[in-house]
Homo-oligomer: A and B are copies of this chain.
Amino acid sequence: MSTPTRRDRLREATRTEIKTHARRQMAELGTASISLRGIARDMGLTATALYRYFGSHDDLITELIVDGYNAQADALEAADAHLPHEAHAQRLLTVMLVYREWALEHRTDFQLLYGNPIPGYTAPGEITTPAAARNMAVIIKIIYEAMEAGKLVLTPPHDHIPPTIQQHLENSRWYGVPPILMYIGTIGWARIHGMIMLELFDHTPPVIGDTTALYRQEVINLMQSVGLYLPPD
C-alpha cells in the first residue's frame, strides 16, 4: 500500500529485537529453551507485551525457522553470485564451503532447522517447507547449469539410479530437473550434512584433527566423481 508509518517501523524494529533475543537465548541454552518470559526479561518487558508482536510461542519459533532457512539460502546465493557464471566447479565448492561455515557460525540456528524438534512444537509444513527447499535449490541449480554447459561427466556409479528411486523421480519431477541431478544432489547434500552434523554435535573422531580439511576434501572428491575439476591455481 503506502509507505510504512513511523509506528510500523518501530513495530518492525521491536519484532526483530525480540527475535534477536530469542536467538541469543537459544545459543546459550539450546533450541528447546526459547521462552517468551526469558526474552521479555532480557528486554525489560512483561511477557504479556510480546503477544502484541507474536501470536504465540510457537509462532515465534516458526518465524525463527523460516528466517533461518532464508538466511542460509541468502548466504549461499550471495556467495554464488559474485563468482563467474561459467566456473561451475568453483561455484559448487564455494557454496558447499559456505554451507558449512554458516552452520558453524549459526550453530543453534542450524540445530533448530535440522536437529531435534522442540518439545511440544510441530512445524507447520506449508510455511516451513518452501523456505527449506531454497538451500537444496541453490546446489541443484549449479549442477544443472554445469550439465547444460556440458561439463558433467557421469561415470559409474553416478550414472545409475536404483530403479525404485528412478521411477519415483520421474513421477514427481521437480522444476523439470532431470532425475539423475536430483539423485546426485541429494547424495551430495547428505554427505556434507553428515559431516556437519557430526562436527556440530562433537562426534567427529578426535583423531582426525582438522575437520575443515576433511570437509573440503570430501567436497572435492564429490565434485570430481561427477567430472567437475577445479582449475589449477
A217 to chain B, nearest CB (A): 5
Contacts of A132 in B (CB 8 A): 203
Cα of A207 to Cα of B189 in the assembled complex, Å: 14
A162 to chain B, nearest CB (A): 4
| Contact pick for A210, options B162, B193, B206, CB 8 Å | B162
A194 in contact with B190 (CB, 8 Å): yes
B136 in contact with A205 (CB, 8 Å): yes
Tell me if A16 counts as interface (CB < 8 A to partner B): no
Size class of the contact patch on chain A: 35 or more
| Contact pick for A165, options B111, B115, B214, CB 8 Å | B214
Number of this chain's copies in the assembly equals 2
A190 in contact with B210 (CB, 8 Å): no
Which one of A44-52, A54-62, A82-90, A166-174 is at the interface? A166-174
21 A-B pairs within 8 Å (CB atoms) are namely A30-B118, A30-B119, A32-B119, A114-B201, A115-B115, A115-B201, A116-B201, A132-B203, A157-B217, A157-B221, A165-B209, A165-B214, A172-B206, A174-B205, A182-B207, A186-B214, A189-B198, A190-B194, A190-B204, A193-B194, A193-B198
A residues at B contact (CB < 8 Å): 29-33, 111, 114-120, 132, 136, 157, 162-165, 167-169, 172-174, 182-183, 185-187, 189-195, 197-198, 201, 203-210, 213-214, 216-218, 220-221, 224
